[in-house]
Amino acid sequence: MSESSAPGAAGSAAGSAAEGTATAGGQDWAWTIDQVDGWTAVPSSADPADVVREWQDEVVAAVLASVEPTMDQMIDLGVPVSDADRRLMHQNVAESVTNLVAFADQVAPDARVAALVGLQDRGPVPVLVSVALSEPGTEDDILMQVLGATGGNPVNAPSIEYLDLPDGDGIRVTRTEIDPDSAEVWLSVGLGRRTEHTDAVVDTVLLWRTQDIIIAEAVGAALDELLPAVRITRSGP
């Protein structure tokens, strides 16, 4: 992914950030987010404090490496950049990384947060990652609803793509919608994978929502790389 300059360390998972569990029919399943270049599993405040601090330092460094060159280019073009401007940028980056941990706190334990780090001149891009199990024969309606194919206030009919994946059936839903409270337009992308077993249907879901339309293509390609990294195994007999 050429747009990402995140070091390998930023792609590593912190503590339980890359792990989850689900249960169906008395059967326990475990899922993990394997390492993918440019992606990092976001820890929550439930993880050891030293692990969270180390993760934050690594991600802040990776984000700064992607945004500082733009500031240097501004200086080369004659745009004045003060020390105060640089301090503000460092502060904003640090806050964006801290906010990731707060987001992970909000969605745990049912879901995890992965963040794309290293897009040029962009902060970390958070994505919600979840796995759900249901009984065999489950209709696609619930998965389609979770991915954003129905409901809400879409500007136009959502775009729905059906994907042939090596480990299941894939669905990508892209939509623009209007926030009823702020009247702002948002883009959302839902990427799902359904794998059917004799005793369970396993749905993997990635959800991303943004107003930064410019990065949609780059993030969409990165989501395609993240989905197969969500690995699901039986954790019981």
Helix boundaries (H) for 124-187: 141-147
pLDDT at position 10: 39
pLDDT band at 24 (very low <50, low <70, confident <90, very high): low
For residues 102 and 237, which has the higher predicted lDDT (pLDDT)?
102
pLDDT digits (tens, 9 = 90+) for 59-114: 999 999 988 776 776 677 777 777 888 888 889 999 999 999 999 999 988 899 99
CA dist., res. 44 & res. 57, Å (int): 15
Percent pLDDT > 90 in the chain is 57
Instruction: Decide if pLDDT at 173 tops 90.
Output: yes
Residues 6+ apart with CB under 8 A from 74: 81
Q: Is the pTM of this model over 0.75?
A: yes
Q: Give the pLDDT confidence of 105-125 residue by residue, as tens digits.
A: 999 888 999 999 999 889 999
In the block, tokens 């001149």 appear at 121
CA neighbor of 219 nearest in space, from 154, 122, 105, 145: 122
14 has pLDDT over 80? no
pLDDT band at 213 (very low <50, low <70, confident <90, very high): very high
The two most distant CA atoms of the chain are separated, in Å, by 66
Say which residues have a Cβ less than 8 Å from residue 102's Cβ, sequence separation at least 6.
none
* pLDDT band at residue 28 under the 50/70/90 scheme: confident
Burial of residue 230, with CB atoms counted within 10 A of its CB: 0-12 exposed, 13-18 middle, 19 or more buried:
buried
d(CA 111, CA 223): 16
Give the model's pLDDT for residue 1.
35
Which tens digits make up the pLDDT trace of 129-171? 999 988 887 777 889 999 999 988 888 999 999 999 988 899 9
